[in-house]
Amino acid sequence: MKKLLIKWNGVWADEMDLQGFHVISEKAWNKFKELVSSFEYFNQWEFCVGTNEHVEFSSKEDFFDSFEIKEIDELLANKFAEIFELPFGFMPLVQMYESIELTDDQIEELEWLAEEIY
């Protein structure tokens, strides 16, 4: 199964640089993209980084463009998991997944996705 290193870099109000990364399967990334792409309405989703600080995404494209994706081998994926608690740093992938409203059937079907993203 292909593993992906998903890196994110952002800036809050030109004052604070934010970074994070996660390692998940290509299957999980594709399913996540499919879920987010299925949203009919996407209006300025915000990623909180402090009490009154947040990074905004104005569209789905803006959100997905904020990630850098690189395929890595299983050995490197395991090494990341050994060294870091994943996800590491600020990672809007997790916050976006938490905001997805799923039916009970979808939750049951996608338990494996939650396990990979958290």
Task: Encode pLDDT of 60-82 as tens digits.
Answer: 888 889 899 999 999 999 999 99
Count of domains for the chain = 1
Under the banding of pLDDT at 50, 70 and 90, the label for residue 15 is confident
Q: Which residue is it, tokens 């990623």? A: 47
- Domain membership of residue 109 as a residue range: 3-117
Asked if the model's pLDDT at residue 86 lies above 80, the reply is yes
**How far out from the chain centre does Cα 114 lie?**
11
Which string of b and e fits 33-66 if b means at least 16 CB within 10 Å?
eebbeeeeeeeebebebeeeeebebeeeeebeeb
Q: What is the pTM of this model?
A: 0.82
Asked if the model's pLDDT at residue 37 lies above 80, the reply is yes
Under the banding of pLDDT at 50, 70 and 90, the label for residue 4 is very high
